[in-house]
Amino acid sequence: QVQLVESGGGLVQPGGSLRLSCAASEFVFDSYAVGWFRQAPGTEREAISCIKNRDGSTSYVDPVQGRFIISRDNAKKTVYLQMNSLKPEDTGVYFCAAYRIFFESCTLLRGHYDYWGRGTQVTVSS
């Protein structure tokens, strides 16, 4: 059973940066793709980015492309989301999620993900 725990959220001013972490319990962590999702109040959970297991290939949604960077350290069983140039519309609860992956690219489709963390709040406000 994969367990995921997010950390690193907080309050930041527009234009600022935060780095989120997603720590996993599964010891074969490098068999899983990991994604970050965001949910603002009253909205559906939306995909932000994903990273494949071994080659580290990534995918981003357009609103965060060039501002956010996803990375992973398989030895530490941790995935990071570096968020720069934050905007008020980036506010929400950020979740990481994982699914077992083989040879395909990682997906931003929420339904593919089997394991979810409980989320960490990010608030961008002056």
pLDDT of residue 56: 83
Please report the pLDDT score of residue 63 as a whole number.
95
Q: What is the pLDDT of residue 118?
A: 97
Is 37:110 a contact under the CB 8 Å cutoff?
Answer: yes
> Amino acid letter at 42?
G
Give the pLDDT confidence of 71-91 residue by residue, as tens digits: 999 999 999 999 999 999 999
The residue ranges of the chain whose pLDDT is under 70 are none
pLDDT at 29: 85
pLDDT at 26: 74
Burial of 118 (0-12, 13-18, 19+ CB in 10 A): exposed
Q: Work out the angle at residue 83's Cα, subtended by the Cα atoms of residues 80 and 84, and round it to the nearest 5 degrees.
A: 145
CA-atom Rg of the chain in angstroms: 13
End-to-end CA distance of the chain: 40
C-alpha dist (Å) from residue 126 to 16, 87, 122: 10, 10, 13
